[in-house]
Structure 1
Amino acid sequence: MKLKNDRYKKARGGYSRLLQINCQKCNSFVCQYQKDGTGNLRRMYIDRITEPTVSTNKKDLTCKKGHLLGIKMIYEKENRPAFRLFVDSVSKKIIKS
């Protein structure tokens, strides 16, 4: 999979990696996500989510078994739709591309 290379990536230092996102409680696969920049995963921008197994159109982000992972929001600084993740709701693993 090819990573997106746009102004958001450049604003975060030009460093990206692809993550596999799983539910922390049941370990079910949720999606793949392109994380730009360093730091913790606090929110997931909807335009960076690939291969979702759940709907990104809903108000809440849940896994297949219904565990609540985050809520939909608009990130004010960039006016981008995103999911704000709850602490310790997801586990992540770097995917080698």
Structure 2
Amino acid sequence: MIDLIPFVDKYQTHRGGYSVFLRCTCAACGHPLFVYQKDGPGPLLRCYWNRIRINIGAGMDDGLSCSACERQLGELFQYKDGRPAFALNEDALKTEEMGESVVLDILDAKSKPAFH
């Protein structure tokens, strides 16, 4: 089960005390990748490993990639505070702010078997 309550920790408090969920898709092919919890204002420059809340179609072995078009989206590195993160390539992702009800719809769709 995935906890949809935003993480509240020292990082969120430092970045303004609020979080939003972002639907992240591949900028090249539009494939849905993941739901990300972003803390504070400003553009998304890096994705912290523990803030990727629902992985839909992202490869995360050696770096961040799209499982549909195999485009490399970012490199795995250790941020200066020790947290693992992905440094995003410029224009790698499209993001859209989403509410909790949309997150629940994504979870519901992921739990249903795909028949081809």
Report 1:57-68 matches (<5 A): 58-64=61-67, 65-68=69-72
- Which of 1 and 2 has greater Rg? 2
| TM-score computed with the length of structure 1 as normaliser | 0.92
Whether the 8 Å contact between 2:59 and 2:66 is mirrored in structure 1 is no
SS in 2 for 1:87: coil
Q: Partner residue of 2:78?
A: 74
Q: Partner residue of 2:42?
A: 39
**Alignment length (residue pairs):** 95
Cα RMSD after superposing both structures? 1.0
Q: Partner residue of 1:28?
A: 31
Higher strand content, 1 or 2:
1
| TM-score computed with the length of structure 2 as normaliser | 0.78
CA shift at 1:8, angstroms? 0.9
SS in 2 for 1:40: coil
Letter in 1 for 2:27: Q
In structure 2, C-alpha distance between the alignment counterparts of 1:67 and 1:55, rounded to whole Å: 10
Could you list the runs of 5+ residues in structure 1 that have no partner in the other structure?
A: none
SS in 2 for 1:5: coil
Letter in 2 for 1:62: S
Could you list the runs of 5+ residues in structure 2 that have no partner in the other structure?
A: 101-116
Q: Which has the higher contact order (CA 8 A, sep 6+)?
A: 1
Higher helix content, 1 or 2:
2
